[in-house]
Each structure stands twice: as structure tokens, then as C-alpha cells.
Amino acid sequence: MERYQEIERGLIKRFRKPIWRKFIMALKEYELVCQGDRVAVCISGGKDSMLLAKCMQELQRHGKYQFDLEFLVMDPGYNEENRENIIRNAEMLHIPIHIFKTEIFDTVVDIEDNPCYLCARMRRGYLYKEAGRLGCNKIALGHHFDDVIETILMGMLYGGQFQTMMPKLKSTNHPGMELIRPLYYVKEADIINWRDYHDLHFIQCACRFTESYAKAENAADISKRQEMKQLIQQFRETSSVIESNIFKSAYHVNLNTVISYKQDGEEHHFLEKFDRQ
């Protein structure tokens, strides 16, 4: 059996419960992939997007829906070593990638005010545009369970708001396009176990900010998301239910106990109904 075949078999066998079943659960619950879709799987070269690519391949082969796949790799300015790493891994995993070049890293390198946010927005725009050019109606990103709860905490602690990372979104700037997150229920620890079990070596987010973060003694000083990871790890050591309760909080919002909320850009305050009760 070829190595890529062992990895594909491992998804259905060894990692069936922690990865495959949760992948399928999110697809069904949120109706992420439909008959006739053409999905652009966006690959950064890291463990999450590479796992997503293999899951989507297996779904296409064995799922009940007929749909098409494109595997997009946007090169925002990777160094040669990282670019070759992505190509080498894609060949080994039998993922037929389509690479296109941008200059995003050079654009944001001198931005001092929230460069990561600008970088993410630019990357998303380029991915939508290239996916549309290839005839796709959806882009799939490799965000997982931990990304969701980190987003909730980061919004509360640093944004003063409650919001979550949605399992799918309609694009506002690219009509007819949707963004989906099929790994929504998959935990990062299980993705790491999958990577290490198969002795796979992927790149990190290889931007200049991440490179400086990797060399720093205190990662939280540079990355608020890394700070959230550390905080969630502390929660896990305290109780096994905290992380799942953070996730569930986005399902159980009681508007009768909320001071104010926004919907479709319009703000609503509890006093609007209070005097009428």
C-alpha cells in the first residue's frame, strides 16, 4: 500500500471517531456540501488545511453527493523552502494543487496596526477571486473546533462582544460564493495526533510575524490567539467540560438576558420591549 493510501485508510479506520465522524457531522448539520457544488479547498500548507483536503477527497469518492473539487494554494510570498514543502507534501498525499502567486506578505510587512487582520482579509479576497475564476461556488477553510472557541473568548476579552466563527457564510463582496468550515467539530489535538501518527511535516503559518513569534520567549506578547490557546489549555486542566461549554454558549443565547444585540447591522436594546411588558 502506498503511503497516501495508508493515510486515507487511517482517516476511515484509526481516526474515524475523532476526525472522520466529526467531519461528516458538521457537513450534515450545517449542510456544507450539496449536489453539484464545485468547492475550492484552500490549502495554506499547514496540518489543518492538508487534513481538510484529504477529508474532502474521501468525501468526494465515497459520499452520496456528486460534487467537484479544486485545491487552491495561494502563495502570499512564501520563502522557497516553504513553497517546496507544500508542493512535496501535496505530491506525497496525491492532492492535485493549483498554485497562484500574490504579494500579500510584502504589502502588510510594514503595517503596524493589526497586520494579521489585514493579511487575513486580503488572503480571503484573493481566494474568492481565484475560486470564482475556476468556476467554484464555495471555498472551504481548515478552521477547527479550537479556532471557534478561541474566537469566542478573544471577542469577549479583547473586543467586548460575543461572537463566534460561523460554520458557513455568504460572501458579501463575491455574489454567489459561500465559505464553509467542514472541520468545525474537529479538535486541534486530534489533528496533531493524525499528523504525528503518520510522521507528516507541514509548514506553520510562514509569514514574517509568525517567524518572529516562534523566536519569542513569550508567544502571547505577539499573538492574542496564542494567548487564547494557553488560556484554554489552563481551562482543560481545570475541568473537562469548559471548552465544550464555551462552544455551546453560541447555541444557547437567551435574548431575554441580553442588554443589547445587533442583527443585520441594527442595534436592539432590552428597554425597547421592557416598558411594553
Q: What is the pLDDT of residues 187-208, one digit of tens each?
A: 999 999 999 999 999 997 666 5
Distance CA 12, CA 16 (A): 5
- Averaged pLDDT, 169-190: 96
- Averaged pLDDT, 269-273: 90
At residue 253 the predicted structure's pLDDT band, cuts being 50, 70 and 90, is: very high
pLDDT tens column, 49-80: 999 999 999 999 998 889 999 999 998 888 89
- Averaged pLDDT, 254-273: 91
| Of residues 67, 70, 52, 60, the one with CA closest to residue 134 | 70
Distance CA 191, CA 144 (A): 9
Lowest mean pLDDT among 39-43, 107-111, 205-209: 205-209
User: Model's pTM, two decimal places?
Assistant: 0.90
Distance CA 128, CA 142 (A): 15
Is the backbone of residue 162 left (phi > 0), alpha (psi -120 to 50) or beta?
beta
What is the average pLDDT value for the chain, to the nearest integer? 90
- pLDDT number for residue 48: 97
pLDDT tens column, 141-161: 999 999 999 999 999 999 999
- pLDDT number for residue 175: 92
- pLDDT number for residue 210: 55
- pLDDT number for residue 112: 64
- pLDDT number for residue 63: 85
- pLDDT number for residue 208: 56
- pLDDT number for residue 49: 97
| 220: pLDDT strictly greater than 70 | no
Length in residues, the chain: 277
> Among residues of the chain, what percentage have pLDDT more than 90?
75
At residue 20 the predicted structure's pLDDT band, cuts being 50, 70 and 90, is: very high
Lowest mean pLDDT among 15-24, 66-75, 116-125: 116-125
Alpha helical stretches, state H, 93-144: 104-108, 115-133
**What are the percentages of helix, strand and coil residues in the chain, rounded to 5?**
50, 15, 35
Residues 42, 139 contacting (CB under 8 angstroms):
yes
Measure Cα distances from 168 to 23, 33, 34, 100, 152 in Å. 14, 10, 13, 24, 16
| 266: pLDDT strictly greater than 50 | yes
Beta bridge partners of residue 90, listed in sequence order? none
Domains and CATH numbers, the chain: 3-218 (3.40.50.620)
